[in-house]
Amino acid sequence: MSTAISNARDTILAKLRSSIANTDFLFRNQHHRTESSSVPSAVTSADGSGPDLARIFGENLQAVLGTYEFAENPSEVPKRIVAQIERWRCDTDRAGESAGEILSWVPEELPLPDVEASLHNLGISLLVPTNMHVQNEREHAGTLSVGLTGVDAAFAGTGSMVLLPGLGKSRVASLLPLHHIALVPVSKIYPTLESWLASLRSNGTLEALFRDHAQLAFITGPSKSADIELNLTLGVHGPRDVHAIIFDDAR
């Protein structure tokens, strides 16, 4: 063994012996306590009340190529859904077509009362997937270009939304269509993911959330993919457009 290798070995062993001898580095003293916040520190943050968080959420969603708008009254939301669909149709030279059907969660899971009847009066019907293993239903769903969902939570710090797929809340409504409209009540907007998890923990529902759901869908703007030259393409693995309609559900 060369002298250089031997010296390096001795240095390493000396450091290991020193570390082992000082047990404070291996085991925390039982009398030592550290103060920590009830909410873990987040990579991103956002502060403010409901309206402030809603504004920050919208701005951060826009920063990741999503779009948003505010509805002062929940009763305005159905008309805003139709207006957004028509804007998309104009952009694709299909303005002459009627909105027709859109993929959706079951109406009871959408955060608006009587939303199905309101949209029906405006010429839109909701298709709620029930069994995507059936070929006819799968093919029918694949012909629809707009999906409508609520959210289980939204995070102002990143402009992200979380959806918990389940009975009546098919994930295809947010993943399959070219365009996704998310209805976001102000009460569902949290500063960060960490603050949402802390609120679930405090009301005793955190464990049930992870026990009852095999997956959580996190959405941060439209689907994005880039090649080796960093040419960005939208809509490759999911919706090309993600539009949030934010409204105050306390009204």
Q: Report the CATH number at residue 217.
A: 3.40.50.10420
Residue 133 pLDDT greater than 60, yes or no? yes
**193 lies in the same domain as 237:** yes
Q: Which residue has the higher pLDDT, 122 or 234?
A: 122
Residue 64 resides in a domain: yes
Residues 6+ apart with CB under 8 A from 224: 65, 232, 233, 234, 236
Q: Partners of 162 in the beta sheet?
A: 153, 218
Closest CA to 106 of 153, 150, 74: 150
Give how many domains the chain has, as a whole number.
2
* Percent of the chain at pLDDT exceeding 90: 59
**What's the pLDDT score for residue 126?**
96
**215 lies in the same domain as 92:** yes
**What's the pLDDT score for residue 244?**
98
Query: Which amino acid is located at 55 in the chain?
Result: R
**18 lies in the same domain as 71:** no
Residue 119 resides in a domain: yes
Residue 166 resides in a domain: yes
- The answer to whether the CB of 161 falls within 8 A of the CB of 218 is yes
**219 lies in the same domain as 98:** yes
**115 lies in the same domain as 239:** yes
**24 lies in the same domain as 63:** no
Quote the CA–CA distance of 33 and 220 in Å, as a whole number: 38
Give the residue numbers spanning the domain of 194.
Answer: 50-247
- Cα-based distances in Å from 100 to 11, 80, 138: 75, 16, 17
The average confidence (pLDDT) of the chain is 86
**23 lies in the same domain as 71:** no
Quote the CA–CA distance of 208 and 190 in Å, as a whole number: 20
**27 lies in the same domain as 60:** no
**54 lies in the same domain as 28:** no
Token pair recorded at residue 86: 């028509």
Residue 45 resides in a domain: no
Token pair recorded at residue 63: 């920063």
pLDDT in tens, 32-89: 444 554 555 556 778 788 899 999 999 999 999 999 999 989 999 999 999 999 999 8
Cα R_g (the chain), whole angstroms:
25
Q: Residue 196, Cα to own-chain centre: how many angstroms?
A: 12
- 24 — pLDDT class (breaks 50, 70, 90): low
Query: Which amino acid is located at 97 in the chain?
Result: E
Q: Which residue has the higher pLDDT, 194 or 98?
A: 194
**10 lies in the same domain as 54:** no
Mean per-residue pLDDT, 201-225: 90
CA angle 228-233-237, nearest 5°?
Answer: 100
Residue 39 resides in a domain: no
Token pair recorded at residue 28: 């925390």
**25 lies in the same domain as 56:** no
**18 lies in the same domain as 54:** no
* Percent of the chain at pLDDT exceeding 70: 87
Farthest CA pair distance, the chain: 88
